[in-house]
Structure formats: structure tokens, C-alpha cells
Amino acid sequence: MTEAREKKYGELAIEQCRLEAWENSYPERDYLIALSMPEFTCLCPRSGFPDFATINIRYIPDRKVVELKSLKLYINGYRGQYISHENAVNKILTDLVDLLDPRWMEVVGDFSVRGNIKTVITATHTCPGFVVPRDVCPVSRAE
């Protein structure tokens, strides 16, 4: 039988975390925010083995920007979740788009090699009617 233990303050902070946004001080300007989180961890839903990745987020904000400590805790919350690479990247994108309603956003999950397979997942969102400035955010898409 395992003995119950009191949770550490970091575990509680992650558990109680909710993503937060701040007002964008420059909503009239198109500018790029780039964030990198090189210590992303989740659990494989099939095997339970840990998966490791660098999560890169790039976005052009509209009226809101993400509060970074809440983002850190949110990302750390994946550590004990059973979730596929594809679902993790798309859930992060959905949660951030729902919170921020950015003009444009890209989330890339660059997962460590496992079983001789390197996985990179890219998910994007573009606000209807917004044209992504190529000098701010070059998009390589077949036209």
C-alpha cells in the first residue's frame, strides 16, 4: 500500500493553473511573438513511455498576449497526460487561440527521436481575412 503524501507547491501550482492573457499595448501593429519551451513532456497514450519535445509558438497578437508564467505552468501540466504528439500540438493551438484570438498563430512540436522516428508537428491558425505579412512571418505554402 502506498502512503499518501502532501503535494509540493509546484505540483499544486501546475494543477491549479489556468492560461491567462494580458492586453496588447500595440494592437495597431503587426508584430511577431516567438516562444520556445524546450522541456515539454507528455506520456504516450499507447505505451505510457514519456515523450519529450521542444514546443515553439509564434504568433501575431490582436488585442491580447499570453501571460508567460501561466503558459509555463500550462505546458508543465502535460507532463502527466497521456496524449499523442498530434493531439498535444493541436490542443495547445486550440487553447491559445480560444484565449487570445490572435491574427495568426503557429505551434510546432519538435519531438525527440523515439524508435528511430523523428516527429515534427505543425499546426496553424489564421484569423479570417488576415493576410500574414511575409516579412513578419514567411509562410511556405503551395499557392
Active-site residue, 44 included: yes
Around Cβ 68, how many Cβ atoms within 10 Å? Answer: 11
Handedness of CA 35, 94, 90, 12 (dihedral sign): positive
17, 30, 42, 44: the catalytic one is 44
Measured between alpha carbons, how far is 80 from 143 in angstroms, rounded to an integer? 40
Measure the CA–CA gap between 54 and 87, rounded to whole angstroms. 15
State the catalytic residue, choosing from 42, 51, 110, 137: 51
Q: Which residues contact 114 (CB under 8 A, 6 or more apart)?
A: 49, 51
Distance between CA atoms of residues 108 and 103, nearest Å: 17
Active site residue 110: no
The x, y and z cell numbers of residue 29, run together, are 501593429
Catalytic residues: 44, 51
